[in-house]
Amino acid sequence: MTVQTAVKETQGVTETNGRTKSTTYDTSKRPFGKRDIFGYFMGDLGGNFSFDLVNMYMFIFFTQFIGIELTHYALIILIAKILDGVNDPLIGMLIDRFRLKTNDKFKPWIIRMAPFLAFTMSIMFIDASDWSYSAKLVLFAGSYILWDLLYTFVNVPYGALSSVMTSKPSQRTALSTARSIGGFVPNILYGIFIPMVIYADMVVDGESKSIFQGDMMFPITIVTGFLAIICYIALYKNTEERIIHVNKENSKEEKYSFIETILHFFKNRAMLGLTLVALAQILFVNGAMQLNSLTFQMYFNDGSLNSYTIILTLIPMVLGATVGNKLVSRFGKKEIIVYPMIVSIAIYLVMLIAPISNPFVWLGLQGLASVFSFGLVMYTWAMVSDAIDYQEWKTGKRNEGSVYSMYSMVRKVGQGLGSSVVPATIAFLLPTLKLNDAATWTAESATGIKNLSVGFPIVGFILIILALLFVYNLDKKTLNKVQKDLGHESE
C-alpha cells in the first residue's frame, strides 16, 4: 500500500506506515478570530516596510545615485542571494529544533530579530555617493548580505506561523488574503509618496530629465524602520499558535532529520509546483517592477508617474476581499489563478506590439491585466500552507520551519537571480545605456526598456500556468482528503 492510501484518522491521531502523528489543539488559547487576521496582516505589513523599500529602491539607489556599475551590482546580488538561500534551510532547521524558552515556536524569533532588521535597512541607504568606489562596494555588499540574513530570521517563522494558527481552509485563505493586503500597503505608500520627493526635473545636455535624489532615502528608512517594529509588536500580541504536532514512531520520540526533510521536500509535487511558480513570479513578474519604473522615467520622461502603478495594486486586493473567497470555494485556488491569467497575457501582448505614447493608456492596460491576475497575488500563501499539510500527509512528519525555509530558500535565490537578471539584461541588450548618465537615455534605449517591462511578465505568466497545470497536484478534491485524513478541523 502506498503512503497516500495508508493514511487514516483515529481519534484525532493520524497513522502513516507505522508512524503516528498527534495533531492536537492548545485549548488554553482563544479561538481563531478577526484578531488573528489583523495580527497576521500586521506581520507582513512590518516585513514589507523593509522588504518593499529595498525591493523598489535599492536598484536605482545604488546604480543611479551611488554609482555602482550594473555588472557589479548584478554579481553582488547574485552572490548574496545564493548565500542567503543556503542560510534559509539552516535557519529553518534551527527554528524547528530549538525554542526560545517559550511555548510558542515561531513568534519569539520574529519579535527578537525585528529591531536588528530595521536598523540594518537604514545602514544600507546611507549617502555614500562621495565615498571611494571600493568603499561603496563594501557598503553595498556588506549591508545587503546582513539585511538579507536578518530578514530570513524574521520571514521564515512568519511564513510558517499561519500553518499552526488554524487548519481550516477558509481561515487559511483569510490569512493569505490578510498577508497579501499587508504586503501591498507599504508598496502603495512607497509607490505614491516617495516618488513625489525623490525625483526632480533637471536639464541635462539641453533636455529636461527626471533625476533620482538618493540623499532622501536615509531619513525615509528611519521612519519606516520604526513603523516596522510597531507592526511586529502587533503581530506578536494578536496572533496565537494553536496547533501542536508531536512526531512519534513506535511509541518513541522520533529524531529530527534535516536531510530527510529536504528529500521529502523534493518529492512533494505541491511544494515543487509552488516553488516553480515563485521562481517565475520573482524572476519575471516582480522583476518587471524595476523595468516599469525605468519605463516611466525614460520612455514617458516622468519618473513620478510610477506612483500611479501602485494604485493599480489595489485591484487584486479589492477583488480578493470582495468576491475572491466565494470564487475559491466554488472553483479552487489553482483554477482561480490559472485561467484568468491567460487574459492577462493577451493584454500584455497588446502592450508589447501597440505603439502606446500616452502613459495613462499604458496605466489603464496595466490595471486591466491586474484584474485577471489577482489570484496569483492573493492565494499563493494559502497554497503554501496546504503544501506543508500535504508533506505531513505523505510522510507522517511535520517540520513547518524546515519545509517553509526550503521554499523560502528558492524564493531568495529567485530574488537574487531576478535582481541580477534585470541589470544583466539591460547591460546585454542595451549596452550604450548608462543608468547613472541621463545623456545616454536615447529614444531607442527608452523603447527597449518599455518592451522589456511587458516582455518579462508575459514570460512569467506562461511559466506559472505551466507549473500549476502540470506540477502542482492539489485540486479541491485531493486537498479535502488531505485535510480529512490529517484530522484537521472541517468547515
Range with lowest mean pLDDT among 173-182, 238-247, 277-286: 238-247
Burial (CB count <10 Å: 0-12, 13-18, 19+), residue 31: exposed
Nearest to 344 by CA among 181, 468, 490, 464: 464
Helices (H) and strands (E) in the chain, counts: 18, 7
Q: Highest mean pLDDT: which of 189-193, 351-355, 419-423, 485-489?
A: 351-355
Chain mean position to CA 180: 9
Percent of the chain predicted with pLDDT > 70: 84
Q: What's the farthest any 2 CA atoms get from each other in the chain?
A: 80
Q: What is the C-alpha to C-alpha distance for residues 58 and 61, in angstroms, rounded to an integer? A: 5
Q: For the residues 134-156, what does the mean pLDDT come to?
A: 92
Estimate the crossing angle of helix 287-294 against helix 443-470, to 10 degrees: 160
pLDDT of res. 146: 92
- β-pairing, 13-16 vs 19-25, is antiparallel
Amino acid letter, 454: V
Nearest to 98 by CA among 152, 157, 12: 157
Q: Give the position of cell 502506498.
A: 2
Nearest to 450 by CA among 375, 381, 354: 354
Q: Is the dihedral of CA 28, 32, 35, 40 positive or negative?
A: positive
- Report all structural domains of the chain as residue ranges with CATH numbers, in order of start: 26-484 (1.20.1250.20)
Q: Is the dihedral of CA 15, 16, 21, 27 positive or negative?
A: negative
H/E segment holding residue 253: strand 252-253
> pLDDT at residue 253 above 90?
no
pLDDT of res. 154: 92
Band (7; pLDDT cuts 50, 70, 90): very low
190-201 pLDDT per residue, tens: 877 787 777 777
Q: Cell for 468?
A: 500549476
Q: Answer whether 439's CB lies under 8 Å from 209's CB.
A: no
pLDDT of res. 261: 67
pLDDT of res. 321: 61
- Could you give the 3-state DSSP secondary structure of residue 31? coil
- 345 CB neighbour count, 10 Å cutoff: 18
Q: What is the C-alpha to C-alpha distance for residues 257 and 399, in angstroms, rounded to an integer? A: 10
**Residues counted in the chain:** 491
Band (348; pLDDT cuts 50, 70, 90): very high
Q: How much is the mean pLDDT over the chain?
A: 81
H/E segment holding residue 413: helix 400-429
pLDDT of res. 208: 66
Band (258; pLDDT cuts 50, 70, 90): low
Q: Highest mean pLDDT: which of 81-85, 118-122, 260-264?
A: 118-122
Q: Half-sphere exposure of residue 80, counting CA atoms within 13 Å on the CB side?
A: 26
3-state SS string for 328-343: HHHHCHHHHHHHHHHH
Q: Cell for 109?
A: 524569533
> pLDDT at residue 371 above 80?
yes
H/E segment holding residue 22: strand 19-25
Q: How far apart are the first and last CA of the chain?
A: 30
> pLDDT at residue 237 above 50?
yes
Q: What is the C-alpha to C-alpha distance for residues 55 and 443, in angstroms, rounded to an integer? A: 27
383-442 pLDDT per residue, tens: 888 888 888 888 777 666 677 777 877 777 777 677 678 888 888 888 888 877 778 888
pLDDT of res. 490: 54
273-304 pLDDT per residue, tens: 998 998 898 888 887 877 888 888 888 887 77
> pLDDT at residue 453 above 60?
yes
72-105 pLDDT per residue, tens: 988 888 788 778 767 777 787 787 777 766 778 8
Band (3; pLDDT cuts 50, 70, 90): very low
